[in-house]
Structures are given as C-alpha cells and as structure tokens.
Amino acid sequence: MSETTKRTYPHGTPVEPLYTSGPQNKPGFRAQPWWTMVQEHFVEKEFAANNWAHSRLDHGASGLLFYLTDEHYLARILKDIELEYINLGLVIEGSGPAVMEALLHHAHNEITPASKLRGFINIDPIEIAARTGIWHEEKMYELGELARLAPKGMKFMCANANFYGACGSSAATQLGLAAAHLDFYLSNFGEVGIEQYWVAITAGTYIFEEIAKHRALRMLWKQLLKEYDLPEVHLEIYTETSTTHQSGYDMHTNLLRATSSAFGAIAGGADAVQIRPYNSVAAGVDAEGERLALNQHFILAYESGMDCLMDPAAGSYFIENKTAELVNTATQILTEVRSLGGLVEALKKGWVQDRIENEVNVAMPKDVLGVNLYPLEGDELPKAMTVSKLTNRATQKARHKNKQIEPLCAVRWAAKLEAERQNSK
C-alpha cells in the first residue's frame, strides 16, 4: 500500500484516491470485439518481403504493414497472398496514388474485387513535415487523387499522431495534436473521404490512461464531425506499442511493457494493434521477437478472452472521469492550435516543439526497471545496438535553421540511463 493519498502520471496529471461518480460518456467502440493483429516490415527486396509476409501469416498475423516506395514492385511483395482475408497497410515514401493504382491492378489480376480490400495507405503530409522539417504541398494533391482511387475499405486520410507519442508527448497532447491533425484535413477536404479517415497513435505502459485515451479519441472525432456538420462515421484507430518505453538492458522486460500497452489499447477500442517485438530497439527483422509479439496477441485474445468483450471499461468511474478529462484538455490544445492558424503553422512557429520538449523534461524518468533499477548483473547491451546521445534542443534548432519547420525528435526513456551505465564501466 502506498502512503501517498494522491499520485500523478509522469507528465504530471493527478490521479485521485477515490472516484464515486463519473460522466455519461458515449465514446463508441470498434464494430466487433476482436482486433487486427499487425506486424510490420521495411521492404528492401520484394521477394524477401513476400517470404516474410507468408511466414507472419502462417504464424497467425491478420494484418501486414509494409514500409515501401513507389519504386517497389507490389505484385512481388503480395505474391500468393489472399488480400480479401487480411488487413493491408502501406506506408509510402513516394507516390501514394501510384502505389494505390499498383494495388488495384494486382487485385484485378488476382480476381480480387476492390470492394474486398481492407487496410490503409499512409502518406500523411503533416507527419512528414514534423519529421523532416519540410512541408510537401503536393502530398495534399495526392490525398485528393486517393479520394478518387481508393476503394471504401482502404483508409487514406491519415493522422499520424503516433509520431508525437514517439517524441515523448503526454496522452493529452497526443490526443490534442491528433484532433488538430483531423481538423486540418476536415477543413481542407470537407466530406471528401469522410469514411476513410484513420488515426495512428502509440500506447504507453499506463493501462488505465491508455484505455481512457483511446475512448477519448473517439469522442473528439464525434465532436469534430458535429462541428463540421458531417455524418457520424467510424474512425479507424491503429495503435502501436511505443518504443519510447523499451530498454536495451534486460530486454525481456519489454515483453511486460508491451503487454501492458497492448492491453490498454485493446480495452480502449483500438481497431488494429501492432505489438512491437521486445528486441526491436536492437534488431531489425527478428523471427523470435516477431513470434513472441504475436504470442502476446494470442494470450490477450484467446487465453484472457479479450476478443469477446465490447468496451469493458464503460461505467468505471475512474476511466470515465479520465476520459472526460483527456477530452477537455485535448479540446483546449485544439483551440490553441487553431488560434495559431492550424497545425502546420503551429509546427512552423515551434509551438508543438516547445510543448513536447517541456513535457519530456517533466516526464523523463530517473529510474528504469532493468537499466538502473534492479539491473541484471553482467547484462550487456546487444552488440547491434548503439546508444545515441540525446539531442540537445539548441543543437537541433541550429542544425535545421534553414528549414521551414524544426523537426521533432523521437525519444526513448531509457537511453540516457543506458549511456550513463555504459560510460560508468
């Protein structure tokens, strides 16, 4: 038992000791109790990617996520894969319409109706700008082209709020920026593609906060649709367990971290979940890590019974209050972003960067399990892993002073402590 009557999450939001009532939230939930079990692959060689895909499907994955360019020959990657039975994600560094046309051509050759394709295309221009510092206006035109090309089951209006989570933002800030992302597209495209919106977010290790965060995202979406006088449609939520919480030392502890993260996302209503392999911070494609990640899905679904539950947190005073709190804070963030001229302008002015930097400074942990808290004696960082020095904000600004936007930097909570431990030898 703790002697502290009140606790806080790392970013400072309070947790009350007792909740006796809660608001009547109606966040919605995914259309069915089960979720898509996603695994990802960075494509270098098409046939190698195809072999990987068949291996993952044989082991039980129901969603495949490929990182590729428009130069990759999609038919080789998807050879002998029955597309109507999986969820297909394509993250593109290139032309989104060109890849969509290639997918439709391949489906036609395989006698797969376009109406049976399920998944998403990812060419989010705001995330690209936040990551690279360059705004690509032509990507907005690509979204317009995808509106004409993409069948209904392929989502293409993407808000990659997972990037803000990877950079260390709080749950409320990730939600607020996700809402600002969605607001930017709704203001530019109106009802175009309204049934093909999707949001990518990260899940951290605080289970109840994650449940509330996912429920709050659906409530924010409803608010936006009502504000724009648009029909209420489902928002697809793709969640990945965050590498921000992974450590290089005592790596098997990452299995516990990812399980907590996935539980929160699934109980909160994520449509698709990618559990990052426990060794993803140190290895690329790793069969053992990927198999264990799928096994985590299976344990949550088939041993814990989570594939049979619809909105299990509904009615919990604590979760309902936390959901409402996150909605209110995220709405305030959205209002402030709008006052700055929208999310792109907020990035250009450095408002987003300043906010996330302040949150990282508050939340940066002094102890990480397995790194400097109860470390394993004799444990070493994997040979393939190098601990990078944390980027100084002033250095980051100077390095990118000629860009329109100062790029955001991904963080990993254990990195600083890992460097200190390695340097102390």
Residue 4's pLDDT is 62
Q: How far apart are alpha carbons 387 and 227 in whole angstroms?
A: 46
Dig out the tokens for 142 from the structure. Answer: 């690509």
Dig out the tokens for 265 from the structure. Answer: 């996302």
Residue 1's pLDDT is 43
Do strands 87-92 and 14-15 pair parallel, antiparallel, or not at all (unpaired)? Answer: unpaired
- Give the 3-state secondary structure of residue 98: helix
- Assign 3-state DSSP to the chain and report helix, strand, coil percentages, each to 5: 50, 10, 40
Residue 392's pLDDT is 80
Residue 11's pLDDT is 86
The amino acid sitting at 301 is A
Residue extents of the structural domains in the chain: 33-327
- Give the 3-state secondary structure of residue 251: coil
Residue 247 CA: distances (Å) to CA of 205, 251, 419? 13, 6, 11
Q: Name the CATH topology of 33-327.
A: TIM Barrel (3.20.20)
Give the residue from 154, 142, 238, 138 showing the smallest Cα distance to 195: 154
Residue 256's CB: how many other CB atoms inside 10 A? 14
Residue 293 CA: distances (Å) to CA of 236, 270, 331, 369, 400? 22, 17, 34, 20, 37
Residue 389's pLDDT is 66
Say which residue the tokens 């993260």 belong to: 261
Give the residue from 92, 217, 200 showing the smallest Cα distance to 143: 92
Query: pLDDT tens digits, the chain, 425 residues: what are they?
Result: 456 667 788 888 888 777 878 898 888 899 899 999 999 999 999 999 999 999 999 999 999 999 998 889 999 999 999 999 999 999 998 899 999 999 999 999 999 999 999 999 999 999 999 999 999 999 999 999 999 999 999 999 999 999 999 999 999 999 999 999 999 999 999 999 999 999 999 999 999 999 999 999 999 999 999 999 999 999 999 999 999 999 999 999 999 999 999 999 999 999 999 999 999 988 767 899 999 999 999 999 999 999 998 899 999 999 999 999 999 999 999 999 999 999 999 999 999 999 999 999 999 999 999 999 999 988 999 887 877 766 788 888 899 999 999 999 999 999 999 998 888 76
Do strands 197-203 and 7-8 pair parallel, antiparallel, or not at all (unpaired)? Answer: unpaired
Residue 260 near residue 246 (C-beta atoms within 8 A): no
Residue 179 near residue 331 (C-beta atoms within 8 A): yes
| pTM of model > 0.85 | yes
Q: How far apart are alpha carbons 131 and 176 in whole angstroms?
A: 18
Give the residue from 331, 360, 251, 259 showing the smallest Cα distance to 301: 259
Residue 6's pLDDT is 72
Residue 3's pLDDT is 61
